[in-house]
Structure 1
Amino acid sequence: MSFRKLAIASVIILLSCAKAEKEAPSGTGIPNPIESDEIIGPSHDFEINTVPIVTELRIISSEEGNTFSFDLEDDDPEVDVKIYGLSIENGEYVEITSDWAGDVGTGIAPGENKIIQWTQQGSTDYSKIKVVANDGRDRSIPYLVNLVSKQRIISDVGQMTGIRHYQSGPNLLSQTRDYIDKQFGQYGLSVDRHTFSWQSTQGINIIGNHLGSSPNSNDLLIIAHYDTVGNTPGADDNLSGTAGMLEAMRVLSQFEYSESIRFIGFDLEEQGLIGSSRYVSEIAQNQNIMGVVNFEMIGYTCRSPICANLQLADTSIYNIANPNSSTLRINFDEKGSSYVSNLGIVSVEADGDPNFRRSDHALFWDAGIPALFITDGANFRNPHYHKSSDSFDTLDFDFTTKIVKTAVATIASLAGIKTAGEAIIGI
C-alpha cells in the first residue's frame, strides 16, 4: 500500500472507547521463516463442538394426532429438543410446550428415528413445525472474540516474514501462497486458487470458503494482500493483515452460520491492486456480497520518538468506508466498543480523497459492494513503510489482536452464527 496523504478532517469521529494503553510493543522474538519443505502453522487450542444436526424430519398424521420422526446427530451424549409452530395468525414461530410425548425436552440422546407424538387438537393453528436441538454450548460473540490468539498471529508473521515479490522474492511468494492454502485446508475450508496472468507472471488469489447453511446464502469477505514491494520483509505491509485474516479464519471457520464467509489472500496488490481487480471482475459479480473487511497494515502503533512527527502518530486503528458502506462501518465501530477493550477506532467516511482508495477494498467500492478499509495509517504513522526495516520486531501484536477480535465480532454477527440445529416440516 502506498499512501500520499490521509486527509482526516471533520469527518473523523473518535469513538468513546479508550485509547490503547501505553504499553510497549509485544512483538518481540526471532521469526522462523517458512521453508519450501516445512509449511507449519499454529493450531487452535480451543475445543470445537458443532451444533446438533436434525435431519430426515417426517410426519405421520392420524385421528389421534401427528407423529414426527427425525434423526439427531451431536457430539454430546444429551441435548435439549424443543418444538415450535409457525402461527397462522401472526406468521411467527412460537414454542409449543404441551401435548407432546417422546423425544422432546431435556436429556435427549442423539440417534436415528427419534419419535415425538403430538396430540394437540388445535394443531390447525400452525402451518409448519420446527424441531430445534440445542447442546447448551457457548457460541456467543464474546466467546468467539476471546478465542482470538495473539500467539497464533505472532507465529504466522514469523513464518512468512521476508520479501514476497514476483521478481525479487518469487520463492517466498510461492511458499506464502502454499502456507495460506494449507492453513485454510487444515481448518476445514474448501480452497480455490484463482489464477490470472499479468505481464510476464502469474498471480494467484487464495480463497478459503466457509459456506453458510441458508439456501442462496450471501457472502461476507475478510481479505488481505500477501505480496510486498521488492525491498521489504513486509511485516506490517502486509503480514499483519495476512496473519489477521488467517486468525479470523481459524476462529470463525469452526462455527456454523446462515451466511457464507470467504477468506481471501490477494496477490499483486503492490503492482496496482491487480489481484482484487481480477477477483471483482471475474468472481464477485456472480456472488451476493454483503460486506468486505480489508486488513491493510494493522500492526504498527506509534509509541516512540521515531514516529512522533508523522501525521498519524497515535495508537488507534482507522475504519474507513465510502457512503455505501456506512452501515458496515458503524457495525464495526459498535462491535469494537462492545467487545474489545482499549482499542481506539477512528471512524472515517471517505470523501473522495484518492488516499482512501489505495488498497483492495477500492475495487469493491467501485462495484457497489460495501467494504471497510482497516488500516494503521501506513506511511503517515509507520516510518518503516516500504523499507527493509519493516520487520517482525517493530509490530505491536496486542494492537493487531484487538483489531482481529473486532472483525470476528462483526463478521460473526452479520453472518448469523448458529447456536442450535433445526429442521422444519409443513403440516
Structure 2
Amino acid sequence: MSIPSLMEKVDIENLYQHVLRLEGIRHPIQHSQHLKKSQDYIYDTMKSFGLQTIQQSFHLKPFLQDFSNIQGMIVNESEPIILITSHYDTVFNSPGAMDNAGAVAIMLECARILSEQSTIQNVGFVAFTLEEFNASWVLARNNKLIELGLYDEKFRWTTYGYAKKMLHYKKQIWQNRQQGLTAKQSIEQYLNLFSSNISSSIRSFIEFDLDLNKNYDHMTIWGNSALYGSEKWFLNRTPKDNPIEGVLNIDAVGFRSFSNSPHSAIKDFSNNVSQSPKKPLEIKSLPKIQIIANQSSKCLMDQYCNCCTDYHLDLELIKSLTKKKLEEIARTQPDLMRSDHTTFWKRNIPAIFITDFTEVPNPYYHSAADTIDKIDFDILKTLTQATLGTIKKLKKNFD
C-alpha cells in the first residue's frame, strides 16, 4: 500500500474517541482507579486489533496495586522492530488530554491501521506508566509535607506563604540542574543560599528531599525519579525479545502554536537552517512540532521530517538535534530528556521525541485545564499520518 493510501486511513473520530475515554486524572495516588481503567482500555484496544498484547506489571512499595506498561506487537522471528511509544499517566490534578491521551490516541490509531496490513511486520506499540514520576517518591514527599503541616489532607499548601516558597524552591532546583548541577547539588546550593529565609518546616522538607536525591547523578536520576515505567519495561526485556531498531516517542501534543511559515516547512533549530518544500504552496498558519534527537537518532529524525515535506503535511517542524554525548546532555540540557525516549538513549538506541514544546509554551500543560476541548484534532490526525508514513519508509519490505 502506498504512503498516501495509508495516510487516508486515519480516522479523526477514532482519535477523538480514544481521548474521550482516556481523559481524566490518571495519577497513581490521587486517582489510581482511572489509571487502572485507562490501562485496561489500552490493553483491550490493542488486543482487539489482533496484536500480541501483554501487560508488563511491576510492584512498587508501598503500593498494594501493581503498575503496568502495555505493549502490542506485530513481530516476526527475531528481526529488529520499530516502536511507537507514549505514556498514559498524568501529574496531580490534570485530566491529561494533551499530556498524554492525545499521543496514546495517535499510537492506537497507528496500531489499528498497521495491524490491518498483511505485509507489515516487526512494529510495536508501548504505553508506559509512571513517566511523570516515581510514585513512591511522590507518596513519601506528600506524607512528609502533611507531617510537617505544609500540606492538608487534600494535598494543598496550608498557607499562601508555603505555596510561594515551595514554588520558588521547585523553580530554583530546575534552574540549578539546567546549569550543570546534580539534583543533590542543586538542593544543597538552595539550602546554602536561602536557608535563612525559610521556615524550619520547609527546611526539614528540603533536607528530606535531599536525602531522596543524594544517591543519583545526572544520568541515574532518569529512570528513578521520573521515566520509571519505561525503565522497568526495558530492564524486564530478555535476550529473546526483538532488538529495537528505532523509537518514535510521542508526548504532549495537540496544542496549536501558530506560525506563518510555508506549507510543510522545517526549521533546523540546531543549525539555524530552514528548508522550503519541493513545491511551495499557500502561506498559512501551521502548528509547530518539535522533533528532538541525539546524534545516533539523526537518521530517524530525518526520515520523519522528510515524510512531512514529501507529502506536504500541515506542520512546521522544528528540528532540535544535539550532537553532545548523553552524559553532557544530562548535565547541560536536561529539558531534552524529559520523556521516555531517554530510556532508549541510555542504551544507544535511536529514538526521537515528538512534542509541541516550542518557543510558545502550552498554557494548559500540567494543569487542570488540560482537557479534550483544548486539543486540535487536526494536529493529531496529521501527526498520525506522519508517524504512519515514517514507519512505511523505515520498513522497506512493507508493500
Whether 2:239 is the aligned partner of 1:274: answer no
Tell me the distance in 1 between the aligned counterparts of 2:319 and 2:105. 23
In the alignment, what sits opposite 1:154?
16
Tell me the distance in 2 between the aligned counterparts of 1:284 and 1:362. 20
* 8 Å Cα contact 1:206-1:265 kept in structure 2: yes
Match of 1:204 among 39, 50, 68: 68
In the alignment, what sits opposite 1:288?
243
Whether 2:111 is the aligned partner of 1:249: answer yes
Tell me the distance in 1 between the aligned counterparts of 2:115 and 2:396. 13
Partner-residue secondary structure (3-state), 2:349: coil
Higher helix share: 2
Evaluate the alpha carbon distance shift between residue 187 and residue 200 of structure 1 in structure 2; reply closer, same or farther with a 3 A threshold: same
In the alignment, what sits opposite 1:23?
none
User: How many residues are paired up?
Assistant: 272
- What is the CA distance between 1:298 and its match in structure 2? 1.5
Partner-residue secondary structure (3-state), 2:247: strand
Partner-residue secondary structure (3-state), 1:198: coil
Whether 2:291 is the aligned partner of 1:336: answer no
* 8 Å Cα contact 1:235-1:390 kept in structure 2: yes
Runs of 4+ in 1 over 6 A off after TM superposition: none
Whether 2:347 is the aligned partner of 1:361: answer no
In the alignment, what sits opposite 1:371?
351
- What is the CA distance between 1:410 and its match in structure 2? 0.7
Higher strand share: 1
Tell me the distance in 2 between the aligned counterparts of 1:284 and 1:375. 30
Deviation string, structure 1 residues 43-96 (Cα, Å, up to 9, x no partner): xxxxxxxxxxxxxxxxxxxxxxxxxxxxxxxxxxxxxxxxxxxxxxxxxxxxxx
Tell me the distance in 2 between the aligned counterparts of 1:247 and 1:143. 15
* 8 Å Cα contact 1:280-1:367 kept in structure 2: no
Tell me the distance in 2 between the aligned counterparts of 1:358 and 1:346. 17
Superposed, which structure 2 residues align to 1:137-148 within 5 Å? Answer: 139-148=1-10
Tell me the distance in 1 between the aligned counterparts of 2:26 and 2:8. 31
* 8 Å Cα contact 2:286-2:315 kept in structure 1: no
Tell me the distance in 2 between the aligned counterparts of 1:378 and 1:181. 32
Tell me the distance in 2 between the aligned counterparts of 1:280 and 1:376. 26
AA paired with 2:6?
L
In the alignment, what sits opposite 2:33?
171
Tell me the distance in 1 between the aligned counterparts of 2:40 and 2:358. 27
AA paired with 2:244?
I
* 8 Å Cα contact 1:218-1:259 kept in structure 2: no
Partner-residue secondary structure (3-state), 1:166: coil
AA paired with 1:302?
S
Percent identity of equivalent pairs: 32
Deviation string, structure 1 residues 214-242 (Cα, Å, up to 9, x no partner): x4311110000000012110011001111
- What is the CA distance between 1:253 and its match in structure 2? 1.3
- What is the CA distance between 1:379 and its match in structure 2? 9.4
C-alpha RMSD of matched pairs (Å): 2.1
Partner-residue secondary structure (3-state), 2:100: helix
AA paired with 2:253?
I
Q: Which runs of 5+ in 2 are unaligned?
A: 134-225, 260-268, 270-284
**TM-score of the pair, normalised by structure 2:** 0.65
Tell me the distance in 1 between the aligned counterparts of 2:358 and 2:56. 28
- What is the CA distance between 1:404 and its match in structure 2? 1.1
